[in-house]
Amino acid sequence: MKKLSALLAFVLLTTLTTSAQIKTPVKWSYAAKKLNNNEAMVLIKATIEKGWHVYSQNIKPGGPIPTSFTFAKSADYAVLGKTSEPKGISHFEKVFDMDVVYFENAVVFQQKIKLNKATTNVKGTVEFMVCNDKECLPPDEVNFSIPVK
């Protein structure tokens, strides 16, 4: 009986583990380049698996969760203006009953910062939602720390 219980527990755990694999179709990478002694550009890149897409920062209410950036307050730097993004793909999505803008393959978001110190780490969080033609994953948050030298 103990062998049967152990076998059932093993099968149950194996089934739960394989069926509950976490999908991560977006990988984030970061860089910064100094524009001059007082300013830098922070680059936040999403590399997106084929068939998936992430949404623009500019989504109307009632649609998917837009990509958003929150930058930690610091005496070392100040955020200048809004985070910019390239022109995305505009498409009508039935599930939201509206036109939405999204990005496939890869997208680089850019944020200009004023430097109050020669070197710093720009910290923050990106929140995003990723979908394909069959499903949307729950919104996710990723913390970042980008060295500026």
What is the tally of structural domains in the chain? 1
Give the pLDDT means over successive 10-residue stretches in the chain (149 positions): 37 40 92 97 98 97 96 98 98 92 98 97 98 94 97
Asked, for residue 28, whether it belongs to a domain, the answer is: yes
Instruction: Read off the pTM.
Output: 0.84
Q: Is 106 helix (H, G, I), strand (E, B) or coil?
A: strand
Asked, for residue 10, whether it belongs to a domain, the answer is: no
Q: For position 21, what pLDDT does the model report?
A: 66
In whole angstroms, give the CA distance from residue 122 to residue 144.
Answer: 8
Asked, for residue 18, whether it belongs to a domain, the answer is: no
Q: For position 22, what pLDDT does the model report?
A: 82
* Element at 6 (helix H, strand E): helix 2-19
Which CATH number is 81's domain given? 2.60.40.1250
Asked, for residue 29, whether it belongs to a domain, the answer is: yes
Contact between 116 and 140 under an 8 Å Cβ cutoff? The reply is no
Asked, for residue 45, whether it belongs to a domain, the answer is: yes
Asked, for residue 13, whether it belongs to a domain, the answer is: no
Smallest Cα–Cα separation from 132: which of 101, 104, 98, 109?
A: 104
Asked, for residue 112, whether it belongs to a domain, the answer is: yes
Domain range for residue 63? 24-148
Asked, for residue 118, whether it belongs to a domain, the answer is: yes
Q: For position 95, what pLDDT does the model report?
A: 83
